[in-house]
Structure formats: C-alpha cells, structure tokens
Amino acid sequence: MFNVNWFKFIGESVTPVTTGDLNGDNSIDATDYALMKKYILGLIDAFPVQDDLKAGDLNLDGVIDSLDFAVFRKYLLGIITELP
C-alpha cells in the first residue's frame, strides 16, 4: 500500500500564559486591568493571549467575572502580593 521511511514532527511554539497578563506582554499592569474591565462590560469578547480563561480567571472559579476584577484590583493596589 505505502511505505513510510521517516516522520518529521514540527512543534508549534506556544507561549505560556501568565495569570493576569491579559495582553501577553509579560507584565501584569493597568493595561491588563483595563482589558478585563472591557471584557466584563462586554466591549470585547476575548483577550489577545493563547488561553483567555487561564489568563483572566484570577480566583480560579472557572469563569471571568467581577470577582476576578476585584482580585485584580487588590493585586494592583498591593493588598495581595501574588495572583493564584
């Protein structure tokens, strides 16, 4: 039928997603906070990162909502020092 002498696998490079980095610039800052606000208000429906849920679900409850927005605010104000 056919003869396969070799295989070549080409891996796609995937940039790891950092929780809180919603724009993929390797920094968690007010720009990401603004993106989350737009998402919650329905002005955008996705973040410019590989895995929206991993990046935006800051309280790890499986959804991106106002509770995540509150966690983000605490992080930016220094009330908490790290995101989950």
Q: In this predicted model, what pLDDT tens digit does every residue of 47-72 receive, in sequence order?
A: 999 999 999 999 999 999 999 999 99
Quote the pTM value. Answer: 0.79
| CA distances to 4, 13, 32 from 1, in Å | 10, 34, 55
pLDDT band at 81 (very low <50, low <70, confident <90, very high): very high
Report phi then psi at 27, rounded to 5: -145, 140
The arithmetic mean of pLDDT across residues 68-79, rounded, is 97
DSSP state of 13: P
Tokens of residue 32, six digits? 């990401």
Domain ranges in the chain are 7-84
Q: What is the CATH code of the structural domain delimited by 7-84?
A: 1.10.1330.10
Tokens of residue 82, six digits? 């790290």
3-state helix, strand, coil in the chain (%, to 5): 35, 0, 65
